[in-house]
Amino acid sequence: MQFFNLFKGEKRMKTKWTIPLSFIFGLMLLQPAYAQEEFIGPEGGDVLLSPQLMFMHMITEYDTFGGGTETQEMGNLTINTAIGYFITRQIEIGGQISTGSSYSEETDFGDEINASVSPYFKFHFNFADTQRVQPYIGAGAGIFYQKSEDRDDDSSFLVFGGAGLDIYFTEDTALTMGIQDSYIFIEDATAQLIMFLLGLSFIF
């Protein structure tokens, strides 16, 4: 009888340790899978290069000689290049250079040429290391240059803010899309530019 009880105790002891040992062994099998997770997006010290295509809708209000205002709406197609530096994974500073042409019902594409140079600041919401969709917000200011056939050449002050998404399809290459709201302060007019951008972002 005593021998039978000992045998039963040994059987209970084996059952008692089977579950913890199985759990530990399972974790050991899962560990390589976690180790192979890719780090997505920028780190502090990385550099960004982002060529972009911008589609703009420009609304300009001019002061008239009679004391009133006149509104003009134009489309604009712009090529933009942004170069940024990541102070941390979330904080980016940089500059962008744009050049493009406007068109409207009264003017053809190419009649009005514009360009801008502006430093910017961005904050990226990329708190997870493996996050492929990374939203951002940003703001900046700079100089806007405009040349047209029916108006003197202008250099104006530009301010803007915007938001967008970086969608990473590799660990350091992303599809970038966003919207930017800009204001240009000209001597006799104020222009609002609503811009939709699409481009690629490369992290180095």
pLDDT digits (tens, 9 = 90+) for 89-113: 999 999 999 998 876 666 555 567 8
The pLDDT value given to residue 75: 81
Using pLDDT thresholds of 50, 70 and 90, give the confidence band for residue 76.
Answer: confident
Q: What is the DSSP letter of 23?
A: H
The pLDDT value given to residue 35: 38
pTM: 0.73
Average pLDDT over the chain, rounded to whole? 79
The range of the structural domain enclosing residue 62 comes to 47-203
- In angstroms, the CA 164 to CA 138 distance is 9
Q: Are 31 and 104 in a shared domain?
A: no
Q: Are 93 and 128 in a shared domain?
A: yes
User: Does a structural domain hold residue 138?
Assistant: yes
- In angstroms, the CA 87 to CA 55 distance is 29
In sequence order, what E strands does the chain have? 47-63, 69-86, 91-103, 112-124, 133-148, 151-170, 173-186, 189-203
Q: Are 123 and 156 in a shared domain?
A: yes
Q: Are 119 and 177 in a shared domain?
A: yes
pLDDT digits (tens, 9 = 90+) for 156-179: 899 999 999 999 999 999 999 999
- In angstroms, the CA 64 to CA 189 distance is 10
Share of the chain above pLDDT 90, in %: 44
Q: What is the DSSP letter of 39?
A: P
Q: Are 90 and 139 in a shared domain?
A: yes
User: Does a structural domain hold residue 151?
Assistant: yes
Q: Are 20 and 80 in a shared domain?
A: no
Q: Are 30 and 74 in a shared domain?
A: no
The pLDDT value given to residue 70: 66
Q: What total number of domains does the chain contain? A: 2
CATH number at residue 130: 2.40.160.20
Using pLDDT thresholds of 50, 70 and 90, give the confidence band for residue 34.
Answer: very low
Reported as half-sphere exposure (CB side, CA atoms, 13 A), residue 175 has a value of: 5
Nearest to 178 by CA among 192, 191, 194, 158: 194
User: Does a structural domain hold residue 41?
Assistant: no
